[in-house]
Amino acid sequence: MAALLQHVRTGLRSARDYNTLDFWPLRQSLKAYDRRCFNGDLRAGFNVALLAFPQGMAYALIAGLPIQYGIYGSAIAAIVAPVFAKSHLITLGPTNATSVMLLSAFASLGIFGADKLSMVPLLIFMVGLFIVVGAYFKVANLVQYISRSVITGYITAAALLIITNQIPKSLGLEINGKGATFYESVILMSQAIHSVHWPTVLVSLATAGLFFVLNKKFKSLPNVAISLLAISALTEFVIESLHLKLIGSESGIQFLPGINAADWSFQAPDFSLGDVHTLASPALAIALLCILEGISIGKSLAARTGARLDANQAMFSIGMANIACAFFSGMPASGSLTRSSLNVNSGGSTVLASYISGMLVFVGAFILGPFTQFVPQCTLAVLVIAIGISLIDRHAIRIVNLTTKSDAVVFGATFMSGLFMPLDSAIYIGVGTSIVLFLKKVARPEMVEYAFKDDGQLAEMDKFEQRAIPQISIVHVEGELFFGAADLFRDQMRRICEEPNLKIVVLKMRNAHHLDATGAMALEELLLYMGEKRRYLILSEVKADMVRVLKNSGLFDEIEERNIFTDEPSNPTLSTAKALKRAQEHLGTTTVDVSIYVDPVLDKTKQGERP
């Protein structure tokens, strides 16, 4: 017995420690580190770096930032996150979702150019701060209440915005400004379609063809990096061999700027109350997206590998990585599905795999940065379009549209708002629609009256049928009694109490949950109404948490203790039997007709019982 108690104490202590935020978990990762771990981490870090470098450039292009922001962000996030993470399952850096959200946020605010670059550090800092505060208050598990229909609708709309923003670069169109939404981008693109640059189109087609072949035949290779290198070399060779002087000319093929990592330095955000107010809403939306993306990826890989994920600790590492990116010209960082999966599949076993990949990207910024000037802008745009197309998950779209009408409505609301409105607004609209439909679903206390017939069978009572003698009605309260259901519950009960021959109502509360202040006030109003109608209220099967709410609200004394019968788990019918006895005492008779009310929506198959 002593050993068992000790085991239980150890388990409880472990669970408590697991849920406690650790501000320096790296020391635990280093304690058992050995050569075998290093070999796996080195291999994984190298593979992830090969993917992260070109992806960083692509995500910066999506966000409308200089390409070095994506590379610096990939390096900083991957280096800082392991210091605060317990799990190696989430590899951080810029992602499609956060990048397009950043683009949409600034475009909707009408902020471009130098003003945008000056405000990016503050935005990222606020994103990180929101996430860290959320981790401290352990809100990571709340993400499970965000419907997958919202995420699917947002990602689909974001994918279309990514594609429409990159098509002009792939066609060499001359467009003035950037569209904040898919609709605006399509309008701008259609107005400039006459300015197609055919040499750019040829390079784009070559890139698309090569990437398609590589992705079909050699999926395990770093095809983004290979395509960038091959098309860049080919383009440079063709231009030189044909003596085409197109670089830098107004009608020529546009190339990316070279990166001088020597200029990379510490850059503190410019804190301004006006800017904080302006950026608060998009920062909160990006923070929510980072949490949703990172935690869902971590949980998915944890389920696949059999590992355990501390969601709040992972959230803390995401927040700290974003704060670091704010001071070193980075981008919003979240969990990347492709890099996280590659890290696990390549043998990464500790958080140091992420650190190694970050250091390799950091070194690559200095060594390879100057060579980015040979990469055609249209080539990177085509690869970004390919990434955007891959985000459109037809299987997920089919599921959310065919499973339930509520899911279809949530998806439609999120997706359509994402096409015509900034993406941060689409997130809020989707979440709001999801919550409203959920509340509507759980707040339907419809009640149908059942009575015992002459043959002893329980059957639905005709709503026009009158009671012949004074009667006790037992009402089965099924489901939620929170603010969303309180008024409907009260109104249904008032209709029941209008029956002229009804004298006493017994509420069976065993399956009633989450009585709050609004529900308590509705119950009090019902009590007053029943008093006016000379009806008598008795509660049975009342659980301890509801007794506590009744006492705190003062309803316990109003209903009177003699009319409240607590639940008896060992004998489920005893409490209601006592309530019936109390009802008979109040009526002064033992000859009564008893009817039963149940909620057919929440319990269609329940047949009821005769106490």
Q: Is residue 440 scored above 80 in pLDDT?
A: no
* Residue 133: other Cβ atoms inside 10 A: 12
Between 84-88, 253-257, 438-442, the lowest mean confidence (pLDDT) is in 438-442
140-144, 265-269, 355-359: which is most confident: 355-359
Between 170-179, 275-284, 303-312, 521-530, the lowest mean confidence (pLDDT) is in 303-312
Handedness of CA 259, 262, 266, 271 (dihedral sign): negative
365-407 pLDDT, tens digit each: 999 999 999 899 899 999 889 888 888 888 888 888 888 888 8
What pLDDT does residue 592 have? 54
Q: Considering the chain, what percentage of its residues have pLDDT values greater than 70?
A: 83
Between 190-199, 490-499, 548-557, the lowest mean confidence (pLDDT) is in 490-499
Are 115 and 272 in contact by the 8 Å Cβ rule? The answer is no
Q: Is residue 560 scored above 80 in pLDDT?
A: yes
Rounded Cα distance between 294 and 135, Å, is 13
Residue 607 banded pLDDT, cuts 50, 70, 90: very low
Residue 422 banded pLDDT, cuts 50, 70, 90: confident
Residue 600 banded pLDDT, cuts 50, 70, 90: very low
Residue 246 banded pLDDT, cuts 50, 70, 90: very low
Residue 445 banded pLDDT, cuts 50, 70, 90: low
What pLDDT does residue 13 have? 45
Cα distances from 279 to residues 122, 428, 506, in angstroms, run 8, 15, 54
Average of per-residue pLDDT across 159-185 = 86
Rounded Cα distance between 103 and 193, Å, is 22
Residue 49 banded pLDDT, cuts 50, 70, 90: very high
Are 270 and 118 in contact by the 8 Å Cβ rule? The answer is yes
Position with higher pLDDT, 2 vs 371: 371
Q: Considering the chain, what percentage of its residues have pLDDT values greater than 90?
A: 27
DSSP state of 561: G
Position with higher pLDDT, 477 vs 447: 477
Beta strands in 61-203 (DSSP E): 92-93
Position with higher pLDDT, 459 vs 506: 506
Rounded Cα distance between 406 and 441, Å, is 9
Average of per-residue pLDDT across 488-515 = 80
Are 144 and 292 in contact by the 8 Å Cβ rule? The answer is no
Mean pLDDT of the chain: 82
What pLDDT does residue 86 have? 87
What pLDDT does residue 125 have? 97
Average of per-residue pLDDT across 487-515 = 80
Residue 241 banded pLDDT, cuts 50, 70, 90: low
The single-letter code of the amino acid at 139 is V
Average of per-residue pLDDT across 318-342 = 91
Q: Is residue 596 scored above 90 in pLDDT?
A: no
What pLDDT does residue 462 have? 57
Cα distances from 514 to residues 220, 327, 443, in angstroms, run 51, 45, 12
Average of per-residue pLDDT across 477-492 = 72
Are 201 and 172 in contact by the 8 Å Cβ rule? The answer is yes
What pLDDT does residue 611 have? 40
Average of per-residue pLDDT across 63-80 = 94
Dihedrals phi, psi of 464, to nearest 5 degrees? -95, -5
- Per DSSP, the three-state class of 499 is coil
In 175-266, alpha helices (H): 182-191, 198-217, 223-241
Q: Is residue 183 scored above 80 in pLDDT?
A: yes
Residue 425 banded pLDDT, cuts 50, 70, 90: confident
Cα distances from 350 to residues 32, 82, 89, in angstroms, run 10, 9, 9
Q: What is the dihedral of CA 7, 8, 12, 14, to 10 degrees?
A: 20
Average of per-residue pLDDT across 471-496 = 75
Size of the chain, expressed as the number of residues it contains: 611
84-125 pLDDT, tens digit each: 988 888 999 998 889 988 988 898 888 888 899 999 999 999
Structural domains of the chain in order of their starting residue, each with its CATH number? 21-436 (no CATH), 448-598 (3.30.750.24)
Are 601 and 444 in contact by the 8 Å Cβ rule? The answer is yes
What pLDDT does residue 206 have? 93
Average of per-residue pLDDT across 303-320 = 84
Position with higher pLDDT, 292 vs 484: 292
What pLDDT does residue 247 have? 44
What pLDDT does residue 435 have? 80
What pLDDT does residue 240 have? 61
What pLDDT does residue 60 have? 92
